[in-house]
Amino acid sequence: MVDEPSVFKVSTRYNSISIESDAEYWTLRTANDDLQSRINRTYPQQLALKNLIYLTGILLFIPPPKNICLLGVGAGSLVHFFRHNYPHSQITAIEIDGELLEIMQQRMALATTDDRLTYIIDDAVHYLDNCRQQFDLIMVDLFLGDQSPKWLLQKDSIQQLYSILNKHGGVGYNLLIDSEKDFNCYYKCLAEVFHQQTLCLPIEDLDNTLTYAFRDPLPVRDMNENLAKAMTLNTQNNLNYVEILSTIYASNPTGSGVI
């Protein structure tokens, strides 16, 4: 007889969530039962959701990041991933919901603060307005309900992210945008701010769209060099970066400045 999954429900100031536990995963869902995060209980560093796996595809194009900013924590999938695969990197994770962080630490094995990991309980808008740090990599995984917040798509916010990137740094966005017009406006602003050093890829079978943007022009690499980097990351991070690279080439015109 198979045990039924257990479900824990709770409301914080900012979120109403449920956490489902079974033998293999912890699964975080919103009050509307939308899937938000999934953590492998035995190997939490193994990303379980395709959108986050593909979001790490930005690592194909930048040096190994030493200073990482995570805008949005949720259940902490990216915290687990980067702590395991980049053990010498400094991670700064921004999350508005401090109560949610505590719940994730108690129920989904989210790491607590240490000398490599700092949580900042703050609204992302306020944090960006006051940030004086520089980062090699920024991962944006923020949602307002089931959509990316409007402010995140504006040119001013894009410019703020550009300004806190180190040379050769990059920013990866995990986006949910229903309006094609809104997305096209956002992507035009992204390309302007980042001097056309951008890539875009939709996620098959999901509503998510991912974008990458790079602080400075990337060194010219041909497809074979990109494939070699993908093979290296396959081994290092235990993910299929060859598949990710193939999707990037299928979704973006070659000769566009990045590929």
**Domain-wise residue ranges, the chain:** 44-251
The answer to whether 200 touches 186, Cβ cutoff 8 Å, is no
> Residue 253 has what pLDDT?
87
Residues composing the chain = 259
> Residue 2 has what pLDDT?
47
pLDDT at position 1 over 60: no
Q: What is the mean pLDDT of residues 221-241?
A: 96
> Residue 218 has what pLDDT?
84
H-helix or E-strand spanning residue 81:
helix 77-85
User: pLDDT tens digit string along 158-188?
Assistant: 999 999 999 999 999 999 998 999 999 999 9
Domain 44-251 carries which CATH code? Answer: 3.40.50.150
User: pLDDT tens digit string along 69-113?
Assistant: 999 999 999 999 999 999 999 999 999 999 999 999 999 999 999
Query: What is the SS3 assignment for 247?
Result: helix
| % residues pLDDT > 90 (the chain) | 87
Quote the pTM value: 0.95
For residue 252, give the DSSP letter.
S
